[in-house]
Amino acid sequence: MGDTTAENNGASSTYSRGEARLVNSIHYFSPTWNGFKFGASYGADETRAYDANLERTNRQVYSLGANYVNGGLTVAGGYNRTNDTAFGATAANGKNLTFYKLAGSYKFATGTFVGAGYEFGRFDTTTDTKLKQDDWTVVVGQTFGAATVSLSYSEIGKLRNATTGSDSDYKAKQWTLGGTYALSKSTSLYGYYTKINNNKLQNANFANNPVYDTGSGSSAAVLTKGNDPQAIGVGMKVAF
């Protein structure tokens, strides 16, 4: 589904919000042993920003992941922690953002595939409140020769212990219908339609191709809370 969801993995999206592209980082990937493989990443903080108390922070990132593959079955898990960062991605000494994730998929001999993922996040705040929120996704699809069609649904749950509004005000959901067509082993066409419905204090967006309704074209561009973005996309992918 990676090419047909407006890239819905990332901090601002509806699922897999613990993922990030680390600028200055090191990674290790193990060999595969009887279908098992694991990896680890460390991301250095190049900025070392000062927080509201004028204390310098070290917002380094630690990530661990593992997966198991057996025929059409794939199961994976992950852990991600960002240090000195409070809810809202605010630099704050001694605060952390932590995510745990479990996902799995199965592809049948008929070309039908199903998948699901669950992620749980724990967030410190600058007022010492401990916030908790989960998100999840399910997907079903079918391959017809060189073509694949898929449908997915993702949801962000309640923000437990929220101090503004109700817990349910931070929920969001997303539907995506997408398809791909392989022109060759390295080149494929893709297209999708997707829509996010945000509750009044949530502003989930598309991770790599976000849309904005305020400050468009500037570094201050944002999607207003409660707004419901939707997108149609087509493109070509070439793997080298």
Name the residue ranges covered by the structural domains of the chain: 25-238
- Cα–Cα distances (Å) from 39 to 16, 79, 116, 120, in that order, read 17, 11, 21, 20
82-102 burial code (b ≥16 CB/10 A, e <16): bbbbbbeebbbbebebbbbbe
Q: How far apart are CA 199 and CA 2, in angstroms?
A: 25
pLDDT exceeds cutoff 60 at 239: yes
Which pLDDT value is given to residue 152? 94
Please count the other Cβ atoms lying within 10 Å of the Cβ belonging to residue 185. Answer: 7
Q: What is the pTM of this model?
A: 0.91
**Mean pLDDT, to the nearest integer, of 172-199?**
94
pLDDT exceeds cutoff 70 at 146: yes
Residue 51 dihedral angles phi and psi, to the nearest 5°: -90, -170
Max Cα–Cα distance, the chain, nearest Å: 60
pLDDT exceeds cutoff 50 at 86: yes
CATH classification code of 25-238:
2.40.160.10
Which pLDDT value is given to residue 92? 95
Q: How far apart are CA 117 and CA 14, in angstroms?
A: 12
pLDDT exceeds cutoff 70 at 7: no
